[in-house]
Amino acid sequence: MYSFSGQPLLRIFDTGKFDSQELYEEAYNRVSSQRRQKVDALRFPEDKRLCLAAGYLLEEGLQELGVETPDLRYGPYQKPYLNQAEGLYFSLSHSGTYSVCAFFDREIGVDIEKIAPLSHKLVRYVCTDEEYQFLMQQSEQAQQEQFFRLWTAKESYMKYCGKGLSLPPRELEIDFSQPLSIKEKGNKAKVDFREHPIEGYKLTVCYAQECQK
C-alpha cells in the first residue's frame, strides 16, 4: 500500500523557519488538536517550535502518503502509532533547532541530537565499558562526534523497540564497522541503520531488516 523503495522516508524541519509568523500559524492550524494542546502547554518558545514542527512534519508526511484522517494512539511505553494505517510506521525526534520525522513500512525509530560538550555522567550512563574505553582514546572533538553517533544509534533502536529509556542503554552495544550494527544483551539485532549528515548534529534512523517485514 505504501511505496518506500526499500528506504525510509525522512523529513527534516529547521524551526528557524518559524521566524515567519505566517508559517508558524499555518503549521499550528494544520496539526491535530492534541498536538496544539502539547504546544500550548510548553513554557519556552523554542520548545513550542520543536513540538509544533514535529507535528507538522507528521501531518505533511501522512498527507503525502495518502493517510487522510490519522488515528494516533500510544503503546505501553508511550510510543505513538497509527491505529488505522496498517503497514505504516513513524517516529519523531527533535533537538537544537531541528525536528525530524521518519516513515516506513516496517517498525522504525529516529533520533537527532545536537553535538555538545560531553557530560561524564551521561557518557557513563550510555556507554558500555568497552565503548567508554574506545571514547577515552579519542581526541576531544572525536569523542563528541563518536559519542553522539553512538547515542543516536542506541536511542533510535530504543525507539524502534518501542521501549524508550525503559531499555537501559548500557545493555546495548554498538559496532561501528560498516554497516553499523547493534547488539542487545550480546545478541545482534536484526535491524539496519541509516545516518543522515547535518552540520553540528547526529541523526540516525533504525528500522527492521526486510526479512522482519
pLDDT for 92-130, tens place per residue?
A: 999 999 999 999 999 999 999 999 999 999 999 999 999
Closest-CA residue to 185 (of 175, 204, 206, 170)? 170
Average pLDDT of the residues in 131-155: 96
Angle at 95 between CA 175 and CA 42, to 5 degrees: 140
For 169, how many CA atoms within 13 A lie in the half-sphere containing its CB?
21
Helices (H) and strands (E) in the chain, counts: 6, 11
Cell of 66: 495518502
Higher pLDDT, 113 or 68: 113
pLDDT at 2: 74
Q: Is the dihedral of CA 161, 167, 169, 175 positive or negative?
A: negative
Distance separating alpha carbons of residues 205 and 194, to the nearest angstrom: 5
**Does the structure show a pLDDT above 80 at 139?**
yes
Quick one: pLDDT band at residue 210, thresholds 50, 70, 90? confident
Cell of 211: 526479512
Contact (Cβ atoms closer than 8 angstroms) between residue 119 and residue 105 = no
Domain 112-212: CATH superfamily, name plus number:
4'-phosphopantetheinyl transferase domain (3.90.470.20)
**Does the structure show a pLDDT above 80 at 133?**
yes
Contact (Cβ atoms closer than 8 angstroms) between residue 117 and residue 123 = no
Distance separating alpha carbons of residues 140 and 29, to the nearest angstrom: 44
First to last CA, the chain: 14
Burial of 2 from C-beta contacts in 10 A (0-12 / 13-18 / 19+): middle
Stretch(es) of the chain classified as CATH 3.90.470.20: 9-105, 112-212
The pLDDT tens digits of the residues spanning 6-41 come to: 899 999 999 999 999 999 999 999 999 999 999 999
Contact (Cβ atoms closer than 8 angstroms) between residue 131 and residue 150 = yes
Q: Assign 3-state DSSP to the chain and report helix, strand, coil percentages, each to 5.
A: 40, 30, 30
Distance separating alpha carbons of residues 117 and 38, to the nearest angstrom: 29
Contact (Cβ atoms closer than 8 angstroms) between residue 77 and residue 164 = yes
Cell of 60: 505533511
The pLDDT tens digits of the residues spanning 161-205 come to: 998 778 999 999 999 888 899 999 899 999 999 999 999 999 999
User: Which numeric CATH code is attached to 9-105?
Assistant: 3.90.470.20
pLDDT at 1: 64
